[in-house]
Structure 1
Amino acid sequence: MFNPRPRIETLPITGRHACHVIDDALLDPGALVAHAVRHIGDFVEAPHNAFPGPELRMPEAFSAQLDAFFSLHLREHFAVRRTERMYSRLSLTTTTPEQLRPAQSLCHVDRLSVSPAHRIVASVLYLFDDPELGGTAFYAPKHPPEVILPMIHASGQLDAAAFEAAYGVRTGYMTESNAWFEKLLSVPARFNRLIVYEGTVFHSGEIRHPQRLSTDPRRGRLTLNGFFTCRRSLAA
């Protein structure tokens, strides 16, 4: 299903970090949209993570195709030897700004800590035609870990009013720099565009027009998300 001859554009984020962009990633992206439509009743909310909407775990056979594409075309960009664990899911952004939890009003990482022998890589494939539904933005902390980490922990413990009072972060989708994070890069959405980046870089969906969100996979902000736990190369 994946393009056997992808063209990869590399966009610097900060330091050694970069976002790798592949347009026309799937040979038949409509098949994934149709899969989402057929299985819309199987999408479920996952309150343990930061995603603002329901998700559908993809079959292992499909995830294996994504991993094979990553291994063949992108692994060398991350200085990793092999994938030890990975999975993929379809995700549909549906949460209104006022319903977001404090942690969802911030950018996030896909893993706060990882062993020195491993590297976390994440991918997003945009499966919607409307670019106004938003791409992905990348951020850097403005404060050291001893300041940032307690704030992040509090975002998972406090309600919206208490979190805003303590840290000055209002409920809503993060689209710009704030007192805690500086925006470094914005990657626009495009149908059948795949982006791949290190999951420990702070990032967020750039939802500037939440009124355009929909629970219909044919009209809403449908994405395919992949997560890879990789063994670092010996020289990395």
Structure 2
Amino acid sequence: MQLPEARVTVETIGEEREPLVIIDNFTGQPERLRDLGYRSQYYPAGVDYPGRRAPADPSYLDIRRDLMMQVMTRVFGLSRSIQCEVAAFSIVSLAPHDLNARQSIPHHDHSDPGRVALMHYLDAPESGGTAFYRHRRTGFERITPEREAAYAAALEEDDREFGPVEPGYPAGDSERFEQIGAVEAQVDRVALYRGRCLHSGIIPNPDALSDDPRKGRLTVNMFLYGT
């Protein structure tokens, strides 16, 4: 099968100008990936992810190996010894009122600059993309190891001033966070960004969430790392 031409866009997020790479037409075969996702066995993802996950085989990235190597080295400054730490089909499925406080605000995956999150969207825009945020009290858009303690203290100060976080998916601006960018979901679109960026999934219609991968918000999520 001949690959379609990939469309690559490189942007920056917010004032701290973290790189954001968007690649359209990544595989040319999203139906195959969706079918694999439909047939996978899912498990609860734990206290951080608001839904269910199933293992995914990251080897399909090899069809764009040269492009991925260029992105990881030129954009993110990582070496050619890139490895995949996690690869999973993911379904956001929890009802808003079931979210815990951590799931109800933007989050960061890692503070390590050598870890890059990969989000592969398999559904149309109405499934929801990914939004990026700035924490108002600190001005942080990314959480580095040097900022972790100050950020944790600032979140506690937020709770003292505003009260406990109300359950619900983050959406746009709030008293605690300001939205500074977004990626729209498109079938077979890949987005790459450092996991230290504050971000959250966009959930335009929480009533439509489902544990069924044929009905729910199905994506592939990976974490790539290097030096």
TM-score (norm 1): 0.80
Q: Percent identity among equivalent residues?
A: 28
- 1:159 aligns with none
Cα shift readout 1:6-31 (whole Å, capped 9, x = no counterpart): 22112321223122111111121111
1:83-98 matches, cutoff 5 A: 83-98=82-97
- Distance, in Å, in 2 between the alignment partners of 1:150 and 1:226 is 29
CA contact (8 A) 1:43 1:55 kept: yes
- Distance, in Å, in 1 between the alignment partners of 2:67 and 2:2 is 7
CA contact (8 A) 1:133 1:210 kept: no
CA drift at 1:59: 3.0
- Distance, in Å, in 1 between the alignment partners of 2:151 and 2:88 is 29
Supply the RMSD in Å over aligned alpha carbons: 2.9
In the superposition, relative to structure 1, how do residues 87 and 102 fare at CA in structure 2: closer, same or farther (>3 Å)?
same
SS in 2 for 1:227: strand
- 2:76 aligns with 78
Gaps of 5+ in 1: 156-162, 232-236
SS in 2 for 1:81: coil
Cα shift readout 1:56-80 (whole Å, capped 9, x = no counterpart): 1113644666776522444311111
- 1:202 aligns with 198
Cα shift readout 1:38-65 (whole Å, capped 9, x = no counterpart): 12xx1111215x2211101113644666
CA drift at 1:197: 0.7
Cα shift readout 1:94-144 (whole Å, capped 9, x = no counterpart): 111001111100111111x33xxx511001111113x22211000122223
Q: Which of 126, 133, 139 is the matching residue for 1:139?
A: 133
SS in 2 for 1:104: helix
In the superposition, relative to structure 1, how do residues 65 and 55 fare at CA in structure 2: closer, same or farther (>3 Å)?
farther
Cα shift readout 1:168-215 (whole Å, capped 9, x = no counterpart): 421100012222221100211111111111110000001121112222
CA contact (8 A) 1:138 1:184 kept: yes
- Distance, in Å, in 1 between the alignment partners of 2:222 and 2:175 is 30
- Distance, in Å, in 2 between the alignment partners of 1:164 and 1:4 is 52
- Distance, in Å, in 1 between the alignment partners of 2:210 and 2:160 is 27
CA drift at 1:84: 4.5
Cα shift readout 1:132-159 (whole Å, capped 9, x = no counterpart): 221100012222345531365899xxxx
CA contact (8 A) 1:103 1:152 kept: no
Number of matched pairs:
216
Gaps of 5+ in 2: 139-146
Q: Does 1:187 align with 2:187?
A: no
- Distance, in Å, in 1 between the alignment partners of 2:67 and 2:4 is 8
CA contact (8 A) 1:173 1:208 kept: no
- Distance, in Å, in 1 between the alignment partners of 2:83 and 2:36 is 27
CA contact (8 A) 1:54 1:92 kept: yes
1:157-236 matches, cutoff 5 A: 167-231=163-227
